[in-house]
Structure 1
Amino acid sequence: TGGHLFPALALAEELARQAPEAEIVFVGSPRGLENRVVPAHGYRLEVLDVEGLKKRRG
């Protein structure tokens, strides 16, 4: 849904404004919305192949 992503992009933009020497790198999953959005905003994206936690019954 981007609820986590768009606030992070706003923070990244402010950080880039205040500290242009900073290297800003996002981390995401192969299937996440960030795969399209982050590069479109000009930031580097590192992709981690992750899986969700399995729920235990009981």
Structure 2
Amino acid sequence: MKPDTTSQIFWLKNRKPKEWRDKQNIEHDANIEINNAYANLTEDELRSLANYED
């Protein structure tokens, strides 16, 4: 008899659902710090930079 992949998948998902389920939830606990070089510029300064041409 030829192996039945669908049966194998079904068996794995029921035997160890945390390891073989389709959807995995991954939790992380980290802080991301973004350094924005433009945060302290005024609107006029930003417009000036946007219109700058080489």
TM-score under structure 2 length normalisation: 0.29
- Comparing both chains, which one has the higher relative contact order based on Cα–Cα distances under 8 Å and sequence gaps of 6 or more? 1
Flag the structure with higher helix content.
Answer: 2
Question: Which is higher, the Rg of structure 1 or of structure 2?
Answer: 2
TM-score under structure 1 length normalisation: 0.27
